[in-house]
Chain A
């Protein structure tokens, strides 16, 4: 009996996995074969979606870019006639674990702990999770361990918070455990707000039970009987799968009263976010769960003492909880064997931007940026020059190519001025303008500042104005000093992490790419040819079909040409508004 799995995470679905699934389902109805059809989460190779896996006799064959037509071919040749179609294979795991296929280089360097089940089990089936060893950690923690032993195990593993700050998880748990109270809470921060980060979404969509199991174990360790998962509203599929997981966990007795026949009670509720980045900050998150405006509160008191509803609370992010069942089942030693001395274990990175293999990769801590981008990530798209990698989202910074040998861990990344963050890695090439990236992040933090602290509310706006001016070619030499001053003031005068880190993207680009700022300000040039006001627009004669749309849309009649003939832009008249690029139906307009 073979099993067919279709990757139905958000990434798969947006690449067309629904049509692929429907085609396979229809084919199975018309011409039944000895096979079952299942869904699964994201295996990380988002760049080859939609993916279809066929598993039989201990082998796994994953096919990439499976359009409905390919699905039909695969069904007829592989499922019905046992013939592997090599040209579509992205990964072939033979009996014994030997790997082959075009994406072996992407998978082979990975160590999958958090992503252990993502892309291999049906996330809507608790039986699949149990068959993969699921809820064994909970069983062990509840039946064979005291809460002190659980905390000691997590401490010994060296696990640190995967949300970005890297606080030792076991230590955090011991604080909440040590504060006596009639009520305690476990909170899971699934408000993955950093643009460029999507590992939490994939884990929730691909393996929701792992997060639940981690939370229940935490509840047992700190003495809490209730948990909240605060999930972004932008992740409807994650919420749907979490709801299914919670319902089936209740049915099986992993949630509710007397879990596994013990005296321990624990239940979980999902709280849907309502669109506010600042709610990723834990005290703001609590305010939001309590039904208020999500504004940060002053710490201390810390959440372990007075958190949600003034009760001792432990808050970790999705990936941190997903590590816990593995650590309890396999032991702290096995976990600590991965990674570096102070940053143990593995980390999931979301590779995006100008990298060939955009997707999710889980590697041991301490791998260099270069290895991540070039070995796992497959290098830069179209073989362009690697310029920088942005880590840590709006709180992080841009690490330039000459520092690419920096090991990725909690010790080394902050030395560059960036932060580890939650694992988003946006790769930039020679066509990315670093001033524009700084402007982009300030635009984001300025809009998301909750407004409580004056320096964050107004300072970020002033910085944004300066950056906008520079990208329009209207910058003045004093602007650089103004940006530096404002950065220091905002960092020192903001209450929460949002303001304290908001200037980081500007500071790191000023540090490593000052020449680009200068080129914008002094020469009125954008070296990356990205800033609309500082480049010229051209029409590619090979692509232009002479449809006249651009000429009709041009506000200054700078485009000329007869219908059905190649059009030309008059550079003297062009006001660089970019209307021609966005109106072209054939992607024929380019900037240079």
Chain B
């Protein structure tokens, strides 16, 4: 299975036509495919682009979007922008950390959630906000944020049961 998964990614790389500046899109594509950038993807990319692995590593670590570790099923991004900050984002972040039992940057033991903060989601008028995957939630409080997270958790549990059956 893992080999097939890798093969699907290397297949994507065949489309690389040597256009300069494609390194970041290739890394984004790897992250989309694997959920993070595994070492072997870095090797594949280096071999097709001829960019040294060390240089690619430098690019990966420069940008906050790229991950070298696997992420949870749902990625939470709590906005820590100015408007959210004055609207109490600090309490919100504390509540999420407490609810999930992880620190910012961490992943829950069951692999359901990874928590990040983000500089601004651009939804300042609905502050404080957070994004779970591509879904934005606005006008939050510590209480509502807990409710939302519990909703995702229930859904994940249901899915897990369904997969076992």
Q: Which of B19-65 contact A (CB under 8 A)?
A: 20-25, 27-28, 51, 58-59, 62-65
Q: In the complex the two chains form, is A586's CB within 8 Å of B143's CB? A: yes
What 0/1 pattern do residues 184 to 210 of A give for CB contact below 8 A with B?
000000001111111001000000000
Q: In the complex the two chains form, is A236's CB within 8 Å of B129's CB? A: no
Collect the chain A residues with CB atoms within 8 Å of residue B65's CB. 233, 273-275
Q: Looking across the interface, which residue of chain A has its beta carbon closest to that of B141?
A: A587
A111 sits at the interface (CB 8 A) = no
Q: Which of B82-121 contact A (CB under 8 A)?
A: 82-83, 85-87, 90-92, 94-95, 97-98, 118-121
What 0/1 pattern do residues 330 to 355 of A give for CB contact below 8 A with B?
00000000000000000000111110
- CA–CA, A272 to B22, complex, Å? 11
Chain B interface extent, by class = 35 or more
Q: In the complex the two chains form, is A440's CB within 8 Å of B20's CB? A: no
B146 sits at the interface (CB 8 A) = yes
Collect the chain A residues with CB atoms within 8 Å of residue B121's CB. 10, 234
Collect the chain B residues with CB atoms within 8 Å of residue A585's CB. 142-143, 146
Q: In the complex the two chains form, is A583's CB within 8 Å of B98's CB? A: yes
- CA–CA, A47 to B126, complex, Å? 7
Q: Looking across the interface, which residue of chain B has its beta carbon closest to that of A236?
A: B134
Which of A277, A289, A291, A354 is packed against the most chain B CB atoms within 10 Å?
A: A291
Distance between B52 CB and nearest chain A CB, rounded to angstroms: 13
Q: Which of A276-296 contact B (CB under 8 A)?
A: 276-277, 288-295
- CA–CA, A1 to B129, complex, Å? 38
Collect the chain B residues with CB atoms within 8 Å of residue A196's CB. 81-83, 120, 124
Collect the chain A residues with CB atoms within 8 Å of residue B134's CB. 236
What 0/1 pattern do residues 116 to 144 of B give for CB contact below 8 A with A?
00111111111101010011111101110
A401 sits at the interface (CB 8 A) = no
A408 sits at the interface (CB 8 A) = no
A428 sits at the interface (CB 8 A) = yes
Q: In the complex the two chains form, is A15's CB within 8 Å of B126's CB? A: yes
Collect the chain B residues with CB atoms within 8 Å of residue A400's CB. none
Q: In the complex the two chains form, is B81's CB within 8 Å of A291's CB? A: no
- In the complex with contacts A14-B123, A195-B120, A584-B142, A291-B20 CB distance below 8 A: yes
Distance between A294 CB and nearest chain B CB, rounded to angstroms: 6
Q: In the complex the two chains form, is B120's CB within 8 Å of A194's CB? A: yes
- CA–CA, A432 to B88, complex, Å? 10
A6 sits at the interface (CB 8 A) = no
- In the complex with contacts A196-B83, A276-B64, A587-B143, A293-B122 CB distance below 8 A: no
Distance between A44 CB and nearest chain B CB, rounded to angstroms: 9
Collect the chain B residues with CB atoms within 8 Å of residue A314's CB. none
Q: In the complex the two chains form, is A10's CB within 8 Å of B136's CB? A: yes
Q: How many residues of A contact B (CB 8 A)?
A: 66
Q: In the complex the two chains form, is A14's CB within 8 Å of B59's CB? A: no
Q: Looking across the interface, which residue of chain B has its beta carbon closest to that of A292?
A: B59
Q: In the complex the two chains form, is A198's CB within 8 Å of B64's CB? A: no
Query: Could you say which of A80-88, A154-162, A574-582 contacts chain B?
Result: A574-582
Which of B81, B120, B134 is packed against the most chain A CB atoms within 10 Å?
A: B120
What 0/1 pattern do residues 298 to 309 of A give for CB contact below 8 A with B?
000000000001
Collect the chain B residues with CB atoms within 8 Å of residue A235's CB. 122
Distance between B57 CB and nearest chain A CB, rounded to angstroms: 11
B9 sits at the interface (CB 8 A) = no
A358 sits at the interface (CB 8 A) = yes
- In the complex with contacts A276-B62, A276-B63, A581-B142, A10-B81 CB distance below 8 A: no
A316 sits at the interface (CB 8 A) = no
- Indicate which residue in B66, B80, B86 contacts A354 across the interface (CB closer than 8 Å): B86
A93 sits at the interface (CB 8 A) = no
Distance between A83 CB and nearest chain B CB, rounded to angstroms: 30
- CA–CA, A440 to B120, complex, Å? 13
Distance between A441 CB and nearest chain B CB, rounded to angstroms: 8
Collect the chain A residues with CB atoms within 8 Å of residue B59's CB. 291-293
A151 sits at the interface (CB 8 A) = no
Distance between B83 CB and nearest chain A CB, rounded to angstroms: 4
- Indicate which residue in B20, B64, B81, B129 contacts A14 across the interface (CB closer than 8 Å): B129
A171 sits at the interface (CB 8 A) = no
- Indicate which residue in B62, B91, B94, B95 contacts A294 across the interface (CB closer than 8 Å): B62
A444 sits at the interface (CB 8 A) = yes
Collect the chain A residues with CB atoms within 8 Å of residue B131's CB. 234
- CA–CA, A201 to B79, complex, Å? 16
Collect the chain A residues with CB atoms within 8 Å of residue B142's CB. 581-585, 587
Distance between B116 CB and nearest chain A CB, rounded to angstroms: 10
Q: Looking across the interface, which residue of chain A has its beta carbon closest to that of B84?
A: A195
Q: In the complex the two chains form, is B124's CB within 8 Å of A15's CB? A: no
A137 sits at the interface (CB 8 A) = no
- In the complex with contacts A274-B66, A293-B62, A352-B82, A582-B95 CB distance below 8 A: yes
- Indicate which residue in B20, B23, B97, B125 contacts A352 across the interface (CB closer than 8 Å): B125
- CA–CA, A271 to B20, complex, Å? 13
Collect the chain A residues with CB atoms within 8 Å of residue B27's CB. 274
Q: In the complex the two chains form, is A426's CB within 8 Å of B146's CB? A: no
Q: In the complex the two chains form, is A582's CB within 8 Å of B20's CB? A: no
Q: In the complex the two chains form, is A584's CB within 8 Å of B143's CB? A: yes
- Indicate which residue in A272, A291, A358, A393 contacts B125 across the interface (CB closer than 8 Å): A358
Distance between B140 CB and nearest chain A CB, rounded to angstroms: 10
Which residues of A are interface residues toward B (Cβ below 8 A)?
Answer: 10-11, 13-15, 46-47, 49, 192-198, 201, 233-236, 271-277, 288-295, 309, 350-354, 358-359, 390, 393, 424, 426, 428, 432, 437, 440-441, 444, 448, 450, 532, 553, 578-579, 581-587
10 new A-B contacts, CB < 8 A, other than A193-B119, A275-B66, are A11-B138, A13-B136, A46-B123, A192-B122, A350-B125, A352-B82, A353-B82, A390-B82, A428-B86, A583-B142
29 A-B residue pairs with Cβ-Cβ distance under 8 Å, sorted by A, are A14-B129, A14-B135, A14-B137, A14-B138, A15-B138, A195-B80, A195-B83, A196-B82, A233-B65, A272-B24, A276-B62, A288-B24, A289-B21, A290-B20, A293-B58, A309-B20, A350-B124, A358-B125, A358-B126, A390-B82, A424-B82, A426-B83, A428-B86, A437-B85, A532-B90, A553-B98, A582-B91, A582-B95, A587-B142
Closest 7 CB pairs of A and B: A358-B125, A352-B124, A195-B81, A582-B94, A46-B125, A291-B23, A274-B63
